[in-house]
Amino acid sequence: MKIASSDIALVRDYYPNSAGILLTFKCNAMCEECCFECGPKNPFALTKENIKNVIDQTSEMESVNFIVWTGGEAFLNYNLLLFSLEYAHKMGLRSRIVSNGFWARNKDVAKAKLKPLIDRGLIELNVSTGDNHQEYIPVERALTAAISAVELGILAFVTVESTSNSTFKVDDVYKHELYTELEKTDYDRSLFRAASTVWVSFHKDKKYSYDYDTPPMPEIENGCDSLYQMINVDPKNQALSCCGLAVEHISELQLGKVTTEQNSLRNLYNQQKEDFMKQWLYVDGPITILQKAKQWDPTIESVKFVHFCQTCAYIFNNPKVQKVIKENYTEIIEDVQKRFVSKIKLSSYLKGIRD
């Protein structure tokens, strides 16, 4: 990489803000468009040893200050979740958990599950719901989980799947009697948030419709921040460059098994700093990259996606796009790398202000 000698140390010493650990691909639900194809029979899960190793290695990267625990369904193995947060907490890391809320039969049960996790550094609970999720988990469970978190004084964020066909929408969260009951109390309602998240299909026989003229997740302004800002480990103990919807469909974003030494998390993370495609995604995002590829080769098919991660999967998995990038990237490498270093510099500066 052609980087000014004054900037080499800055890039070398740059590390992510957070880590995402996907504890398991097992889930009690089997949502049709789950981006990781999770379900009751999916066998992949991290062991205690894997988790300890990942936390040990994560805590060596001083810039990482919290972990996002997700899956699959992280609460399916509650004892492992407790162990994981306890160990992370001991290493100085706070936690956020993503769940479908199946375990929140009522507020007493939900609080009994959440309280020990809060004592071990849990600061935020994310709960997913929507039409597809509700085929398996009643919305009441998702909301009971989120509201119990608020009543215990931590942030709760409810995400609602959204397509043009969705019947359950974000407004329905705020209209639900469990939420309206919360409004009548003195609990801090600002801890509760709900938003829609685009529910995309990576299957050819997709049945959802979208408004392609105003896609809900268009290009990411200033590039994809999921890269370099986060390091992730999946249930196969494999490090991932990002936590994007398409990451299990893009082999280039799968960095290798996390072991020690050569394949330590730090080394796997650092190797990406040499990767031109990731640098380019980080500064420009996949839609801009696809547009450039089409300028180089106008015969590349025009395709419309609703989420930028779908475009990302397309550029990595379409041989014609890959070929034209390989043939022409030297034209833009200098500009991309200059902006890559500038973005790393800016991010370091902002981290310095926040710390």
Task: Give the residues lining the site for ligand SF4 (CB under 6 A).
Answer: 27, 29-31, 34, 38, 71-73, 100, 128, 133, 224, 226-227, 242, 244, 246-247, 253, 281, 286, 308-309, 312
Output 235 or 286, the one with its CB closest to ligand SF4: 286
CB–CB of 168/162 below 8 Å?
A: no
Task: Write the single-letter amino acid at 95.
Answer: S
**Min separation Cβ 29 and ligand SF4, Å:** 4
Residue 109, token pair as written in the block: 């049960």
Question: Cα separation of 204 and 38, whole Å?
Answer: 18
| Minimum distance, C-beta of residue 144 to ligand SF4, in the bound complex (Å) | 16
Task: Quickly tell me which residue has 């998390």 as its tokens.
Answer: 265
Retrieve residue 83's tokens. Answer: 């162990």
**Smaller CB distance to ligand SF4: residue 227 or 344?**
227
- Provide, rounded to whole angstroms, the least separation between the CB of residue 133 and ligand SF4: 5
CA distance linking residue 118 with residue 136, whole number of Å: 27
Shortest distance (Å) from residue 52 CB to ligand SF4: 24
Residue 39 three-state SS: strand
Nearer to ligand SF4 (CB atom), residue 101 or residue 121: 101
- Looking at the Cβ atoms of 89 and 249, the one nearer to ligand SF4 is 249
Indicate the residue among 58 and 272 with the shorter CB distance to ligand SF4.
272
How many whole angstroms separate alpha carbon 310 and alpha carbon 201? 9
85 or 281: whose CB is closer to ligand SF4? 281
Least distance between ligand SF4 and beta carbon 93 (Å): 22
Residue 116, both tokens = 């020990």
**Least distance (Å) from ligand SF4 to the CB of residue 69?**
12
For residue 226, give the nearest of 14, 64, 16, 72 by alpha carbon: 16
In the chain, which ranges are continuous DSSP H helix?
5-12, 48-59, 78-90, 107-118, 131-134, 139-151, 170-175, 177-183, 226-229, 265-271, 276-284, 286-296, 308-317, 319-328, 333-354
Nearer to ligand SF4, 187 or 216 (CB): 216
Task: Let me know how long the chain is.
Answer: 355
Least separation, in Å, of the C-beta of 102 and ligand SF4?
8
**Residue 152's CB: how many other CB atoms inside 10 A?**
19
Handedness of CA 46, 49, 52, 54 (dihedral sign): negative
Q: Least Å distance between CB 260 and ligand SF4?
A: 26
Give the nearer residue to ligand SF4 in terms of CB position, either 121 or 244: 244
